[in-house]
Chains A and B, each alone.
Chain A
């Protein structure tokens, strides 16, 4: 975030606070002796454009991420899942993601799916994320802010959207080549395709942070 962007933000009204629903799972919560909490690994915070919100990640994602030794969390932004609706557009939802990110015990990786990818990208412009993962972005901002603290960025899209304009926009903005996965972009929460996708994301995270 540049100084000018901060000056502008300090002059705009903050979005109305809401009680956000946050689902989280620590490696110790899995009651599995095989799984060791890795204190060096960054936590992971997920958000999705799906109206279910954080609950969408309960089926597979949180368990899988926690099993890799990371603190796994997911947030429902305003209007999703258990979080009450409140005024505010994309900026307010990005605010919700930032607020959830600073409540995570350590510097966190942001994973955004669908509209969640644009909120995560905006949040990464205000909070120094440990990494930014954009899964099948939709309604992505034309000029996303430069991520604070220069985190590594990963773009994952389904094979069908590899040539879409969203994927192209993200590629241009961050200079990263997309990683593709088989299956529908809306169906990433369970099933074999979802497991493959998640493993790819986790193995991308592993060596970096």
Chain B
């Protein structure tokens, strides 16, 4: 960073730097403010709301994006969504919600828009020097903070597969984030690649709009409708957690029996998966569209060939439009990889308790998990723990030591995630276990230290 070094760093004292003003960033700012910290939040775009804001130029929203987890399981614990909203709010409502959250707690005055973080460098005394690069002009600023919280999310760098012959393919290829308008599907023969939530949602979108829809999935995933037993599915399953252990298994099986048989009828066999396993695909309409033939399922794409696409099972088709709903790669570029425990290039961060940097006490990442339930409450408790930790770190050595031991033991206990087989599930955690681990960490910070 030779080009900036002539400039002396401006010391912000005990202030904390939050990177990103999406859902996670806003929650981090609010919880830090509540614990008495001064906060500067930097957002590279000119709007708040992160991925939920269609005006964000990198927004990953696709037509008709809705939450896949229900309102009661997704709302921020201390700021509930209006109770007259639907069970599964849309992306627009989500943005309204986040905007009112920011307004309610007066967060906007702490956000610096159009400011990308060029680098975060550790300096003496476990502090950080942050280089802020404004979108307009070239006068980068150098500031010093007591701590840095990265809340940039993991839905920004599209993960594009490469199949043989794809370079020479003559048709149109789009990533799900580039398909902003469902009218692009109208009257076309569409091939949707990818069996995650976005792939399944887009296949349903194509089923009603396009002339024909073929859905290519590499492997079968667990399908869950949005409602089970007359209740939002995630709520119905979560509620079973309050039951005694011996009943839980039985009740869960009874609840999931119907959807599992329907999936099996549609030729989706998911061996050994179930609750507690990998994150399900949550869509109630998909299997019905498969059932009425408006979505035809195929295996993996083998190669592209001129205008044609050949599948692994030997069949071919000629799509007008190929949509890659192949997700995103977690990518944090502003911090040197070793600080986050990334090994090699393109590796996934290996964080302590999935939020703390293994190298520095004052660097943390919020929201880099896929818990299979609403992520906002998880981020709320994560940032609550981070804010408390930053408070305790200096003032209370005994609790700080307990905390470090606890985080260490939670980290060694953490498995590779239930579905580590697929790169998509590298960030996956079991929500119940992770929340219990978060609760233990918060307890070491808040309860009287055990003698």
In Å, the complex CA distance between A8 and B238 comes to 10
Least Cβ distance of A203 to chain B in Å?
Answer: 23
Please indicate the chain A residues that have their CB under 8 angstroms from the CB of B77 in the complex.
1, 6, 126
In Å, the complex CA distance between A19 and B84 comes to 8
**Size class of the contact patch on chain A:** 20 to 34
Contact A99 B82 (CB under 8 A): yes
Contact B106 A107 (CB under 8 A): yes
In Å, the complex CA distance between A90 and B446 comes to 28
Please indicate the chain B residues that have their CB under 8 angstroms from the CB of A142 in the complex.
none
- B218 in the interface (beta carbon within 8 A): no
> Beyond A3-B438, A3-B439, A4-B439, is A105–B104 a contact (Cβ under 8 Å)?
yes
Contact of B78 among A4, A106, A148 (CB under 8 A): A148
Binary contact track B152-194/A, C-beta < 8 Å → 1, others 0: 0000000000000000000000000000000000000000000
Contact of B82 among A2, A102, A104 (CB under 8 A): A102
Contact of B442 among A3, A104, A127 (CB under 8 A): A3
Least Cβ distance of B338 to chain A in Å?
Answer: 31
- A103 in the interface (beta carbon within 8 A): yes
Please indicate the chain B residues that have their CB under 8 angstroms from the CB of A10 in the complex.
72-73, 235, 238, 377
> Beyond A106-B106, A107-B106, is A1–B72 a contact (Cβ under 8 Å)?
no
Least Cβ distance of B429 to chain A in Å?
Answer: 15
In Å, the complex CA distance between A104 and B84 comes to 16
For window 109-153 of chain A, which residues contact chain B by CB distance below 8 Å? 126-128, 148-149
Please indicate the chain B residues that have their CB under 8 angstroms from the CB of A12 in the complex.
239
**Size class of the contact patch on chain B:** 20 to 34
Please indicate the chain A residues that have their CB under 8 angstroms from the CB of B435 in the complex.
3, 7
> Beyond A3-B381, A6-B377, is A17–B104 a contact (Cβ under 8 Å)?
no
Q: A5's closest neighbor in chain B, by CB?
A: B77
- A46 in the interface (beta carbon within 8 A): no
Please indicate the chain B residues that have their CB under 8 angstroms from the CB of A14 in the complex.
72, 83
In Å, the complex CA distance between A95 and B82 comes to 11
Please indicate the chain B residues that have their CB under 8 angstroms from the CB of A148 in the complex.
78
> Beyond A7-B435, A11-B242, A127-B78, is A102–B377 a contact (Cβ under 8 Å)?
no
- B449 in the interface (beta carbon within 8 A): no
Please indicate the chain A residues that have their CB under 8 angstroms from the CB of B442 in the complex.
2-3
Contact A11 B238 (CB under 8 A): yes
Please indicate the chain A residues that have their CB under 8 angstroms from the CB of B238 in the complex.
10-11
In Å, the complex CA distance between A198 and B410 comes to 51
Please indicate the chain B residues that have their CB under 8 angstroms from the CB of A127 in the complex.
78-79
Contact B78 A99 (CB under 8 A): no
Please indicate the chain B residues that have their CB under 8 angstroms from the CB of A2 in the complex.
442
B residues near A (Cβ < 8 Å) are 34, 72-73, 77-80, 82-84, 100, 103-106, 235, 238-239, 241-242, 377, 381, 435, 438-439, 442
Known: A14-B83, A103-B82. 5 other contacts (CB 8 A): A3-B435, A3-B442, A6-B77, A10-B73, A11-B238
The 3 A-B residue pairs with the shortest CB-CB distance, nearest first, are A17-B83, A6-B77, A3-B439
Instruction: List 7 interface pairs A-B (beta carbons < 8 Å), by A numbering.
Output: A1-B77, A6-B381, A10-B73, A14-B83, A17-B83, A106-B104, A106-B106
